Structure formats: C-alpha cells, structure tokens
Amino acid sequence: MALWRLLRDFFLRQRRAYGTAILCLLGVGLLNLTLPWWIGKAIDALRAGELDQTGLLWRVALIVAVGCGLYVLRYQWRVRLFGTSYQVGVELRDAFFAKLARLDPGFFQSSRTGDLLARATQDIDAVETAAGEGVLASFDGMLTLLLVLLAMFIGIDAPLAALALLPFPFMAWGFYRVARRVQQRFGLALAGFSALNDRTQEALSGLRMLRQHALIEAELDDFDARARSVAKADYQVQRTEARYEPIIFVALSLATLLTLVMGSWRYLDGHITLGQLTSFSLYLVQLIWPMFAIGWCFNLLQRGEAGARRLEEVFAVTERIRDEGTQTPPDQADLSVYIPAFTYPQARQPALQDVVIDLPAGDTLGIVGATGSGKSTLLRLLLRQFPLEQGCIRLGGVPLEDYRLGDLRAQFAYVPQDPFLFARTLGENVALSRPDATAGEIREALDAAAFGTDLAGLPQGLDTPVGERGLTLSGGQRQRVALARALLSPAPILLLDDTLSAVDTATEARLLKTLAGLQGRTTLIVSHRLSAVQHADEIIVLDQGSLVERGRHGELLAAGGLYARLWNLQQAEEAGQ
C-alpha cells in the first residue's frame, strides 16, 4: 500500500502524538457509552418509583460533567491529531522539493512542470488529509463501533444485538465496491488536474506569443474543454462517493426496523426492560457515526492512496548524480578534462568525443563551434548535471565525484544561454549569489556588466521588480543582469554560455573589456561570436562533438582551419551590415 509506505516512518516518529490522540478518542468513546446506559437506568428507576428529585438532579449534574469531559477530550485529540497531520504535509513538500533538486536535467526534460506542481499540492494534500482526518475516521469509528457493540451484546441483550446487526455485512460489501471505484476515479481526476495545471502554466508563459498570433480565442476554447473534462472527472468522484450515504441509511433503517420488531417482542416477553430497550435504541443511533466514519475513512484513504502512488513515482526515480563525495574543492585549482565519449540518455550519437583540456587556474578558455557541437554540454558536465561514464574531469587533480556536490557547484558561477530571473527586485536577483552584498557592491557588479545606464533609467533603481522570469526586461538586459550576478559571486570559476548573444556591438565591447580584466578567476566562455573569445588564453573549436582545433586567436587564424573560416564569415557579415 503506497500510502502506508509513504507515512510509515512519519507515524513511527510521531507515535506519541498519535497515541495521545487515540487515548483521548478512547476516552470520548467511553464517556459516550455512559449516556444511553444512565438514561435507561433512569427510566427504569422512574417506573419503579426509586428515583426522587435529588437523585434526578445528581444524574443531570453527572451528564453535564460528562459533557465537559467530552469537550476537553475532543479539544485535545484535535490539537494532537490535526497538528501532527499538518506536519506531514510540510515534511512531504520538503522531501519532494529536495528530491527534485537532486534529480538531473534529463528528468525534467521528460516531466511537465504543471504535473509536478499538482503532485506537490493536490496529491500531498490528499496524503495529509488521510494522515489526519483519515486516522480520525478509522480509529474513532472503529473504537466507537467496538464499544457500542460490546455494550449492546454484553450490557443489554445479545440476541437482539445479533439480529439488529444482520444488515451490516451487506453494508461492508457495498463499501468495498464503492471504495475501489473511488480510488480509480480519483486517480483519473488527479491526472486530469495535472494536465490542466500544466496547460495553464504553458498558456501563462506563452501569453505574449498567443496575443501576437491572435490565438487567445482558440486557447480559451481549448482551456474550457480541458476544464470541463476535469470538472467531469471530479463530478464522477463525488458521484461515486455519494453512494456511501444511501448504503449507510439503508443498513441503519433495516437495523432500526429489526430492533423495533425484535425489541418489542423481547420486552413483552420480559427478557429486557423498557429502559434497556431505550438504551439499546440510543446505542443504535450511536452507530450512525461509526458507519459514516467507516465510509469517510474509505473515501479519505482511497484518495490518499491515489495521491501517494503519484508521489511514489517521483520518489522512486533513480538519482543519476550521486552526492557521495567527501572533499572540499580548493579556492584556486587547475581544471583538466578528459572525455573519450559522452552520450545523453536516450540518444544514439555522442554529444562529445575525444575532448582533452588542461586549463590552469586564473586562465580564460574560449569554446566555439557551430550549433549542436557540444559547447553547452561541456559546461553541464563541469557542473555535474549529467554523470560522466567515460573519462574523468578533475579540479585540482581530484575527480569531481570526490567533492561534495554542493561545495563543487559553489565553485562555479554559471550564466546559461537563457538566464533565469526570479519575480523579485533587480537587486535581489543580482545578490542571489551573495545575499550579504551591499547596494554599492551590487551597483558595481551591474556597472561591470554594462547595466549602469539601464539602472539609471529604472524608476525604482535596485528595488525595481523585474516580473516573473524577468518579463519586464529585454533579452539583452536579462543576460547582463545574470552576468552581474556571476561577477558578484565569490565563485572562482566563471562559466559563460553564450552570454553576449543578445547584446549590441558596443555593449559587447564593454563586456569583453570587463572579462579581459578579470584577475584570479578561471573563465570559460562559450560563444558563437568569435570576437567574444579572441582575448582568451586558449581557444578550442568543437565540431559535431569533437575537438578539432585549439590555440590562441592569432594561431588559429594563421592555421586557416574551421576557426579562420568562421572568423572571416562573421567579419564579412558585420561589414555587410
């Protein structure tokens, strides 16, 4: 059972809280049993003339005391049980996010963002409810049922109780049939919600494109169809769950009918008193809650089971990047790369092959080549985003696998091709790599990234919100903000993946001057513009994943190879402009 596997350790750790809640529920059940018994005794005493006014007042006072005790015990189990179940939601979300953070990019290439968000919200909510209200319904319902049955069989009349409970096995069979359908249909509803969530996320991200191509109406129609499908799936779940109540009422109605017929006959024959028949009828009424609780329990547990199975699918994904290192990287270290071949999962052709690089600490390496030649792949391997099964990458003479993963990645300040900005202020986005940076240091980093003029034009300066994913900034501005973040970072190694692709020639010249003036930082610059790497200490040229040329700018031009042809082509294009 996926739900039990997911919650087993949590239940063990929180056994004291759950144990206390169960004891309080037991106390509630015992106190509830006393009320029908006392009422029956009071009726018999009144009929026999054995109860005076004082005795009646004492019995009323006792009932009030029982009510106060019930209030205290109910408050205590609610605090223990629901407070603890909310904690499981927090722990599951923490564990879910931690799992996602450890998974390699290949997992996210085959997963949908909306689906993962649905699992982190609705699925965990279903598990959390099962751990709280589900436990309440199961324990409270079973305890009350057991105590009431004991009171009916032992305390009043066993034959009458046996006859009155004849409909209950048929009710249990009905519950089983309904529960199976609830689990199946709730699983379909969760999957539909995930698909709708993912579609919504895509539509919001591509809203500009939809407007530009006049696709808003078509998108609304598609969304309406998907929303109706999800609503229909939810309706089917609710419709199936609604069958619990008729089953309960039919069973209790038959039990009540049997009680009236058999109970009257037993009373007339003198086997039970009028007070006992009254107590028995009140106990039968108390069976309404256990019956509803069992149905509610089946409902919540089946929902939780469906959510737990979807969560298990993510937790069961194998982490291809193992964080088993024990060493801490040095602040300055040489970088060496030996890659006989690297192939992405589910790919046939190697993305890199026969790549050998030795980069001294503090030097700059330029990496150029056509689209798809493996430039970005090389940087991803340095960051250990994918496991390297053949070859070895060393930092300071130590394989990357021997370093703690968090410490290793802290050595790199990475600016990807499509830089990501959070929906925070400009200053917060730049200071992400150094939260303790002062406003002056942030401005210096922005100036070094050629963003000073842009900053002066922003209405709120560093406090200007940039919108989700930096939507209020242009592509070139986002690249320069990401570059400023990397320049502010204390990481000794800079990885720049086509960082200058969206800037103009004048801005590129300023940024190249900044990069050329970096002292003490090892820099790897990936670029399709050769002008961005001409100042590098060494340049390597990749072609279809293979390293075909290496050397300085002048040496490569003199060699007349692929680099020289690309250089001449780019110079001719710039001259033609």
Could you report the per-residue pLDDT of 136-171, keeping only the tens digit for each? 777 777 777 777 777 778 777 788 878 877 887 787
Has residue 173 got a pLDDT over 70?
yes
Give the residue-averaged pLDDT of 533-547: 90
Q: Which helix (H) or strand (E) holds 392?
A: strand 392-395
Which residue reads 């670029």 in tokens? 527
Has residue 495 got a pLDDT over 60?
yes
Has residue 295 got a pLDDT over 90?
no
Please give the share of the chain, as a percent, with pLDDT higher than 90: 12
| Nearest one of 310, 287, 262 to 117, comparing CA atoms | 310
Give the residue-averaged pLDDT of 223-241: 79
Least confident of 45-59, 405-419, 436-450, 503-517: 45-59
Q: Report d(CA 118, CA 185) in Å as an integer.
A: 17
Residue 538: per-residue pLDDT: 93
- Reported as a single tens digit per residue, the pLDDT across 446-456 is 898 888 888 88
Higher pLDDT, 415 or 297: 415
Residue 550: per-residue pLDDT: 93
Give the residue-averaged pLDDT of 317-326: 83
393 confidence band (pLDDT: 50, 70, 90): very high
Has residue 541 got a pLDDT over 90?
yes
Give the residue-averaged pLDDT of 23-48: 73
CA-based radius of gyration for the chain:
35
Has residue 113 got a pLDDT over 80?
no
Residue 399: per-residue pLDDT: 92
Contact 494, 522 (CB under 8 A): yes
Q: Which of 80-94, 156-170, 530-544 has the highest mean pLDDT?
A: 530-544
Q: How many CA atoms lie within 13 A of 533 on its CB side?
A: 33
Q: Report d(CA 491, CA 175) in Å as an integer.
A: 61
Torsion of Cα atoms, 287 then 288 then 291 then 297, to 10°: -120
55 confidence band (pLDDT: 50, 70, 90): low
551 confidence band (pLDDT: 50, 70, 90): very high
418 confidence band (pLDDT: 50, 70, 90): confident
- Reported as a single tens digit per residue, the pLDDT across 472-489 is 788 888 888 888 999 898
Q: Which helix (H) or strand (E) holds 335?
A: strand 335-342
SS3 of 466-480: the string is CCHHHCCCCHHHHHH
Has residue 95 got a pLDDT over 70?
yes
Torsion of Cα atoms, 565 then 566 then 572 then 577, to 10°: 170
Residue 56: per-residue pLDDT: 67
Contact 373, 363 (CB under 8 A): no
Taken in order of first residue, the domains within the chain and their CATH numbers are 14-315 (1.20.1560.10), 335-576 (3.40.50.300)
- Reported as a single tens digit per residue, the pLDDT across 278-290 is 777 777 777 777 7
Residue 46: per-residue pLDDT: 66
Higher pLDDT, 181 or 483: 483
245 confidence band (pLDDT: 50, 70, 90): confident
Residue 524: per-residue pLDDT: 92
Has residue 63 got a pLDDT over 80?
no
Task: Report DSSP state, residue 368.
Answer: E
Higher pLDDT, 385 or 215: 385
Has residue 577 got a pLDDT over 60?
no
Residue 542: per-residue pLDDT: 93
Has residue 82 got a pLDDT over 60?
yes
Task: Report DSSP state, residue 120.
Answer: I
101 confidence band (pLDDT: 50, 70, 90): confident
Which tokens belong to 216? Answer: 């808003």
Q: What is the DSSP string of 495-520?
A: EEESTTTTS-HHHHHHHHHHHHT--S
109 confidence band (pLDDT: 50, 70, 90): confident
Give the residue-averaged pLDDT of 365-381: 89
Residue 214: per-residue pLDDT: 61
Has residue 52 got a pLDDT over 80?
no
| Nearest one of 22, 42, 46 to 34, comparing CA atoms | 42
- Reported as a single tens digit per residue, the pLDDT across 117-129 is 888 888 888 888 8
Global pTM value: 0.68
Which residue reads 């790897």 in tokens? 524
Least confident of 22-26, 78-82, 373-377, 434-438: 78-82
Has residue 566 got a pLDDT over 80?
yes
Give the residue-averaged pLDDT of 500-529: 81
- Average pLDDT of the chain, as a whole number: 81
Has residue 349 got a pLDDT over 80?
yes
Give the residue-averaged pLDDT of 4-10: 79
Residue 528: per-residue pLDDT: 84
Please give the share of the chain, as a percent, with pLDDT higher than 70: 93
